[in-house]
Amino acid sequence: MNIGIVCYPTFGGSGVVATELAKTLAKKGHNIHMMSYAKPARLDTLETGITYHEVSINSYPLFEYPPYDLALATQMVNLIEYQDLDLLHVHYALPHATSAYLAKQIMAEKARHVPVITTLHGTDITLVGSDPSYKHVVEFSIDKSDGVTAVSEYLKKETYERFNIKQDIKVIPNFIDLDRFKKSNKSHFKKAICPNDEKVIVHVSNFRKVKRVPEVITVFAKILESGIESKLLLVGDGPDRQKAEQQCRDLGICEHVRFLGKLEQVEDVLSIADLFLIPSGSETFGLAALEAMSCSVPVISSNIGGLPEVNIHGETGYLCDLDDVECMAEYGVKILSDADLHAKMAANARKQAERYNQDVVVEEYERFYEDVSAKL
Ligand code: GMT
């Protein structure tokens, strides 16, 4: 098929899911055309079978807010016409599903009917999409898509609760490349970071408020206090980075904490990790947790959103109530001080990740493309 994929170009979340999907579909022989305002972080433009089309906006002095959604709709129309797209698959409803609806209507005027599939990821429903300033348009655009998928059962339920959506929503979970995300020997790296063989605790996120980075540091400080020699590696960057650095200074634990910034090869860091922390205040799936689990790293997370679907309490790690840093620290100490428990949970984590095998999940998307196209 000739497939148009639209996403945000982010290092994590929906941008990564869309890009990995594009790469896998291209390997299977589909022609993929990706659209975004910047090159998606995990996309190599030399990859065969994928063409990246940057959406450029003509900014005119009149525009305080240049209309990206219109430029994107125009790009979609161009690609449907000139690349003969069979289908548009947009990731993150806002504004992608709206631009796709517009492009679809324009093409319908030319008697060309192109199905639109919208994949809901999370904040497009929970934080941003349901905001009164966007809600009507997001609701309409999702409902007008020819196929809608959500990345977890939780997100599906949440979408029906927050919006008046009549469409069926199919849950197709996020997925993982099990060959790339697996524990590999990085002993040189481990030695450099942990000269005294300290335990390694990792957190990966975009450092937005919702990720609770200050809680990660509080939990780590408590684990240190318990006497477990350990290091905290923080991967990613974002609004709460400075606050987190200040907190480390205030607690006097800077020498044990490393801010690694945005990284391409997260699996290298996960390969030396003993524990992964994700205490988020909202999380519809928790792709970062899945990446850790695939590298055989037990996870301690909050018990909200889609996280309990991915991280199984007492098996692949532990779940705690939101903001309960005592609970997270206690479980952290428990896992890190019991080698047998750690080994069991590490093995379970990898086994659980295997349920999200990229090859299997991408086939689900292909079947969904066929079903939706056949109905049109
Ligand atoms: O906040 C983020 O992590 C980014 C956001 C996005 O849409 O890019 O992530 C959402 O989608 C991810 C991929 O499906 C999910 O794994 C995350 O749980 C979800 N984030 C939230 O719900 C906060």
CA 92 / ligand 1 centre spacing (Å)? 9
Quick one: which atom of ligand 1 is closest to the CA of 8? 8
Q: Which residues contact 44 (CB under 8 A, 6 or more apart)?
A: none
pLDDT of residue 46: 83
What is the reported pLDDT for 10?
87
Exposed/middle/buried for residue 352 (C-beta within 10 Å: 0-12, 13-18, 19+): buried
**Contact 19/34 with Cβ under 8 angstroms?**
yes
Residue 282 CA: nearest ligand 1 atom is 23
With a Cβ cut-off of 6 Å, ligand 1 is lined by 10, 12-15, 17, 92, 121-123, 126, 151, 174, 206, 210, 282-287
**For residue 182, is it within any domain?**
no
- Domain shared by 25 and 163, yes or no: yes
Same-domain pairing of 245 and 320: yes
Query: Domain check: are 34 and 166 in the same one?
Result: yes
196 and 290 share a domain? Answer: yes
Give domain status of residue 22, yes or no.
Answer: yes
**Any idea what the CATH number is for the domain that residue 57 is in?**
3.40.50.2000
What is the pLDDT, as a whole number, of residue 59?
A: 84
54 and 12: one domain?
yes
**Per-residue pLDDT reduced to its tens digit, 189-204:** 999 999 999 999 999 9
339 and 191 together in one domain:
yes
Are 342 and 214 in the same domain?
Answer: yes
Mutation pick for ligand 1 pocket among 94, 121, 276 (CB with most ligand atoms within 8 Å): 121
Whole-number Å distance, alpha carbon 12 to ligand 1 midpoint, is: 8
Statement to judge: residues 18 and 163 lie in one domain: yes
Locate 282 and state its tokens. Answer: 């909202």
Q: Is the bond into 132 cis (omega within 30 degrees of 0)? A: no
- Identify whether 203 is part of a domain: yes
Whether 180 is in a domain gets the answer no
What letter does residue 162 receive in the DSSP assignment? H
Asked if 162 and 224 sit in the same domain, the reply is: no
Query: What's residue 186's pLDDT?
Result: 93
Ligand 1 centroid to 111 CA: how many Å?
36
pTM score, whole prediction: 0.94
- List of long-range contacts for 186-192, beta carbons under 8 Å, 24+ apart: 186/268, 186/271, 186/272, 189/268, 189/271, 189/272, 190/272
> Which residues of the chain are under the pLDDT cut of 70?
none
SS3 240: coil
Task: Tell me what pLDDT residue 11 has.
Answer: 81
Number of domains in the chain: 2
**Which residues partner with 233 through β-bridges?**
202, 258
Task: Judge whether 181 lies within some domain.
Answer: no
Which residues are 248's β-sheet partners? none
Strand duo 169-171 + 230-235: pairing:
unpaired
Residue 171 shares a structural domain with residue 235: no
Same domain assignment for residues 362 and 346: no
Atom of ligand 1 nearest to the CA of 14: 8
159 and 225 co-located in one domain: no
Range of the domain at 127: 2-175+357-375
* Ligand 1 atom nearest to 283, measured from its CA: 22
Asked whether residue 366 is domain-assigned, the answer is yes
**Per the domain annotation, does 158 fall within a domain?**
yes
**Residue 13 Cα to ligand 1 middle (Å):** 4
In a domain, 28, yes or no: yes
Asked if 232 contacts 220 with a C-beta cutoff of 8 angstroms, the reply is yes
What pLDDT score was predicted for residue 47? Answer: 82
